[in-house]
Structure 1
Amino acid sequence: MQRLVFSILLCFVVTVPFLNSLALAEVVTCSGMVPMKYRNDKISVTDFGAVGDGRTLNTKAFQEAIYRIEHLRRSGGTLLYIPPGVYLTESFNLTSHMTLYLARGAVIRATKDTKNWPLIAPLPSYGRGRERPGGRYMSFIHGDGLHDVIITGENGTIDGQGEVWWNMWRQRTLQFTRPNLIELMNSRSIIISNVIFKNSPFWNIHPVYCSNVVIRYVTILAPPDSPNTDGIDPDSSTHVCIEDSYISTGDDLVAVKSGWDEYGIAYGRPSHGITIRRITGSSPFAGIAVGSETSGGVQDVLAEHISLFNMGVGIHLKTNIGRGGFIRNITVSNVYMENVRKGIKIAGDVGDHPDDKFNPNALPVVKGVTIKNVWGEKVQQPGSIQGLKNSPFTGICLSNINLHGATRPKTAAAPWKCSDVSGTALLVSPWPCSELANTHTTGECSNTF
């Protein structure tokens, strides 16, 4: 699958010369950000009685293997090997200094039995579960306060069997917020690579309150109608790199977050230093998103070399009254999108509230957003930038953007919609709106070439 993703990107470079900066002569990666460690100590989950027949419940085997890693504390950590087979299990916790290694043909599959699924406390930056008041179901694979953790292998699969949870959501029978597929909290020095993630009950990969996280060469799959199955959501986290991956889900492919309304404001932990590059995917929602939960602030985000197909929105920055916080110093560049409902959307009226205690005077600040080198085909509506009357969006730069309509090749798309925004635009087709001044050398777009 990773070779397929690379082939798609290479084809994109050849067939869309407009984005000549995608030339792969010198590919920038984050491979040195967190070193991949070799573990001398290796054990197999089958050493602890696991059976990969797809029927035997292996929770105890996973727990005992990880207990051994945590308490023996071998020098350099331990690799837990998952051989080929289908290993059914309930949710379990990881520990520090370990590698979870899935062989080719290995599947770690979540049980469909939701009755005994463990509950954990709500995140302090959310104040409650994201879907329901109170606590939330623990993620299928979980970790809190960890460091030096690697999840990798030979493209084995972690399968959340999310349909039972999706149906509970649709039927409104959920008692608590659905579990993520993987959530790592308060953790650092994390690598997730060369694994397929499939059918998450809720968000797929959720690093929250984390630092130094590398996610690369992953494939994330869920049906387009699966609710809230975001691909990767770095949340109140710093120095996160996401690259060279394929994501096709029922919600945003990558969404940067930092807390929800008054709880996120009080917790006050921003997301910053986020790099997203060479992502290919499709979704009825957004490709690259910031928000809508941004109450702790989001800044210093770079997303580049993105290929999007059959999308709801290509690039979506979203916040709301009551969020507070900020979205600033965001750069999205070298994007190809095809068959998209809306190309670019920056909005101040998106997302719900945890309760009625939010402060309507807590207005977000959106400032310093650069979107450049974007080419779109079959785009129904090029974009909208709609700020808040009492907190206009400022420093918006659009440059070198061509978004063609969906009716005939090379035809103009429907007009942009803009309000309460200021900034500049250069070489944008169709022309965005009068609120963005045309410029050649000055203003917010002066450094985009």
Structure 2
Amino acid sequence: MNNTRNLKVAIVASILQLTGFQSFSQLQSPSWPINVLPIVEKPVFKADTFNIVKYGAINDGLTLNTKSINAAIEACSANGGGVVLVPAGLWSTGPVELKSNVNLHLKSDAVLSFSRDKSQYKLIEANWEGLAAVRNQPPISGTGLENVAITGKGIVDGNGDSWRMVKREKLTANQWEKLISSGGALDQSGKIWYPSASSLKGSQTNNAGAIAPGKTAKDYEDIKDFLRPNLLVLTKTKNILLEGVTFQNSPAWNVHPIMCENIIINNIVVRNPWYGQNGDGLDLESCKNVVVENSVFDVGDDAICIKSGRDEEGRKRGIPTENVLVKNCTVYHGHGGFVVGSEMSGGAKNLFITDCTFIGTDIGLRFKTTRGRGGVVEKVYIKNITMKDIPGEAVLFDMYYGAKSPVFINDGGAKMPKEAIVPVNEGTPQFKDIHVNNLVCDGAARGIFVRGLPEMNIQNIHLENITIQANNGIQIQDAKRIHFRNVNLIVKNTQPVVDIMNSSGLTFDGLKYNEGAELIFDVKGERSTNITLRNAELKSAKSIADFKYGATKKALKTQ
């Protein structure tokens, strides 16, 4: 009995430490339900140490140490586990394959530099953006393992510049001239540089890398250079620790656990050039029980990403990403700070994001999907978020990712374009039951953007205690039961502050806006109904609401 009680006390103490709450009663708040917060213990390793130097590794930046490093890992695992030590220095290597019960430890000033020689990476059946595909072997990988770690204060460098294409628009004139003079190949437009003719050919191949019946890896050799690997890929692995290390310069995605359980990511740095194509930071795909904290991201694509497979293949896998806590993380450049999708066909739930800062990310909180994905994203709890200098939206929910909605491209004519309403099926995605509390943003193109599908509205979104300085305020389309409480919008464009199309059940409680605002609400569409505004100062606005394209005054109630 005492052992059971002690275990419960330990679990509650762990949750309090992770969430920053002071008491058990706070944990019972509906915003942070205690029963689904992840509890993950660090894997424990034997003290036995296997120095890669003893297996023939040479620190000169020239010698390829692939065999030496993998031999040390093999010996360590065969011995029951322990620490594989990478001392200070520049260690050139090809692909490294992790084994169970091994902690790959990089000392301070140790750089594990992966070879630019693509022949070192064999073609394998892998995964690319949520689909099965042939890719080059990842620089670091492991499949079906238990108890693995990469720790220390060293650097893992994927030399991704030797793999990635680069768009001319992302470089200065001098940088562009230097790049093309280094070799490689340009596409027909002369605006995209590829590292090799093989890479260029792959870009011109339809569904390059897609696994086809009757084909083997050899059938992809002519486009091998195009099939960029992710830097670190762990598949179907349990009990993972990534701590202290810098992961940088990946060929494609940087850190990618897929179908893994019990993951701790603490105090890591993830870096990629801002122009790096597909240069995601962390992609948690179909993973369960994850804690990500005290880490810094500065990357070329989405930073902290939640995924679970793509389209029918992802739905068939049917493994959501669930029970994830992200705490005390900072994101600089990235297409999104915290992101869900767009490959989320297996679903995502029980996601907790707290005490994070996004500075200069294209979008702050980014939820994206599209028709055909399927999957349900629900039970997401976000609090204490700080943003600054966001070029796009501070908060975005968009179900038209990669496509255009006919409504928001309206040319101002007398009739609003009709939306195509398609039957709901297994490919219809859903966003629902999402809570955002205590968010401050200084600078954005738009504060909040919510765009659902006419056949499947985004629903049950709660946004509370939010202050945003932006060019534009709130834009909502095809949404229902969206609740705003204590939202303060300081925006340059106040005509309108809130733009609503074909949405219902919206509540604005305590909405604040610029004094002298031209128009609070612009309400469009006959499906716009049951909109409530309460506890707002209306006298300072020149006009409260306009109604058009079938919307009527009955749609808005003020209290």
Q: What's the TM-score once normalised by structure 2's chain length?
A: 0.67
Q: Is the contact between residue 125 and residue 267 of structure 1 (CA under 8 Å) also seen in structure 2?
A: no
2:148 corresponds to which residue? Answer: 149
C-alpha distance in structure 2 between counterparts of 1:371 and 1:244, whole Å: 20
1:186 corresponds to which residue? Answer: 236
C-alpha distance in structure 2 between counterparts of 1:95 and 1:248, whole Å: 29
C-alpha distance in structure 2 between counterparts of 1:206 and 1:68, whole Å: 26
C-alpha distance in structure 1 between counterparts of 2:386 and 2:129, whole Å: 34
C-alpha distance in structure 2 between counterparts of 1:307 and 1:248, whole Å: 12
Deviations 1:32-89 (A, max 9, x none): 7222524221110000110111111101101211221233x33xx2210000111100
- Corresponding letter in the other structure for 1:437: T
2:366 corresponds to which residue? Answer: 316
Distance 1:269 1:124, change over 3 A: farther
- Corresponding letter in the other structure for 1:167: M
**Residues 166-185 of structure 1 aligned to structure 2 (within 5 Å):** 166-167=164-165, 170-171=193-194, 173=200, 174=202, 175=223, 176-185=226-235
C-alpha distance in structure 1 between counterparts of 2:453 and 2:424, whole Å: 12
**Residues 43-192 of structure 1 aligned to structure 2 (within 5 Å):** 43-71=50-78, 73-74=79-80, 77-123=81-127, 126-129=130-133, 135-153=134-152, 155-167=153-165, 170-171=193-194, 173=200, 174=202, 175=223, 176-192=226-242
C-alpha distance in structure 2 between counterparts of 1:375 and 1:140, whole Å: 39
Distance 1:78 1:114, change over 3 A: same
Which of 370, 394, 406 is equivalent to 1:343?
394
Q: Is the contact between residue 43 and residue 147 of structure 2 (CA under 8 Å) also seen in structure 1?
A: no
- Answering whether residue 222 of structure 2 is matched by residue 222 of structure 1, we say no
- Answering whether residue 471 of structure 2 is matched by residue 403 of structure 1, we say no
Aligned residues: 396
Q: Is the contact between residue 195 and residue 217 of structure 1 (CA under 8 Å) also seen in structure 2?
A: yes
Moved more, 428-437 or 100-109: 428-437
Q: Is the contact between residue 34 and residue 191 of structure 1 (CA under 8 Å) also seen in structure 2?
A: no
Q: Is the contact between residue 97 and residue 140 of structure 2 (CA under 8 Å) also seen in structure 1?
A: yes
1:365 corresponds to which residue? Answer: 430
- Corresponding letter in the other structure for 2:395: I
Q: Is the contact between residue 165 and residue 277 of structure 2 (CA under 8 Å) also seen in structure 1?
A: no
Distance 1:239 1:433, change over 3 A: farther
C-alpha distance in structure 2 between counterparts of 1:286 and 1:212, whole Å: 25
Q: Is the contact between residue 125 and residue 264 of structure 1 (CA under 8 Å) also seen in structure 2?
A: no
Q: Which has the higher contact order (CA 8 A, sep 6+)?
A: 1
Distance 1:218 1:24, change over 3 A: farther
Q: Is the contact between residue 38 and residue 291 of structure 2 (CA under 8 Å) also seen in structure 1?
A: no
Distance 1:31 1:83, change over 3 A: farther
Which of 291, 294, 302 is equivalent to 1:241?
291
- Answering whether residue 485 of structure 2 is matched by residue 426 of structure 1, we say yes
Look up the SS of the partner of 2:163 in the other structure. helix
Which has the higher Rg, Structure 1 or Structure 2? 2
C-alpha distance in structure 2 between counterparts of 1:93 and 1:363, whole Å: 38
C-alpha distance in structure 1 between counterparts of 2:336 and 2:262, whole Å: 25
Cα deviation for residue 124 of structure 1 reads 9.7
Cα deviation for residue 198 of structure 1 reads 1.4
Distance 1:360 1:390, change over 3 A: closer
Look up the SS of the partner of 1:349 in the other structure. coil
Runs of 5+ unmatched residues, structure 2: 1-18, 28-36, 167-191, 203-222, 404-422, 490-496, 511-530, 532-559
Q: Is the contact between residue 38 and residue 290 of structure 2 (CA under 8 Å) also seen in structure 1?
A: no
Distance 1:23 1:36, change over 3 A: closer
2:318 corresponds to which residue? Answer: 268
Deviations 1:219-243 (A, max 9, x none): 1111111111111111001001111
Which of 485, 503, 508 is equivalent to 1:438?
508
Distance 1:141 1:124, change over 3 A: closer
1:301 corresponds to which residue? Answer: 351
Moved more, 276-285 or 266-275: 276-285
- Corresponding letter in the other structure for 2:124: I
- Answering whether residue 336 of structure 2 is matched by residue 277 of structure 1, we say no
C-alpha distance in structure 1 between counterparts of 2:117 and 2:509, whole Å: 59
Distance 1:388 1:220, change over 3 A: same
Distance 1:432 1:240, change over 3 A: farther
Cα deviation for residue 126 of structure 1 reads 3.4
Q: Is the contact between residue 34 and residue 190 of structure 1 (CA under 8 Å) also seen in structure 2?
A: no
Q: Is the contact between residue 95 and residue 120 of structure 2 (CA under 8 Å) also seen in structure 1?
A: no
C-alpha distance in structure 1 between counterparts of 2:460 and 2:330, whole Å: 28
Q: Is the contact between residue 100 and residue 146 of structure 2 (CA under 8 Å) also seen in structure 1?
A: yes
Look up the SS of the partner of 1:283 in the other structure. coil
Distance 1:414 1:127, change over 3 A: closer
Cα deviation for residue 433 of structure 1 reads 5.1
Look up the SS of the partner of 1:305 in the other structure. strand
Runs of 5+ unmatched residues, structure 1: 1-21, 130-134, 353-358, 406-412, 444-449
Cα deviation for residue 438 of structure 1 reads 1.9
Distance 1:278 1:193, change over 3 A: same
Look up the SS of the partner of 1:46 in the other structure. helix
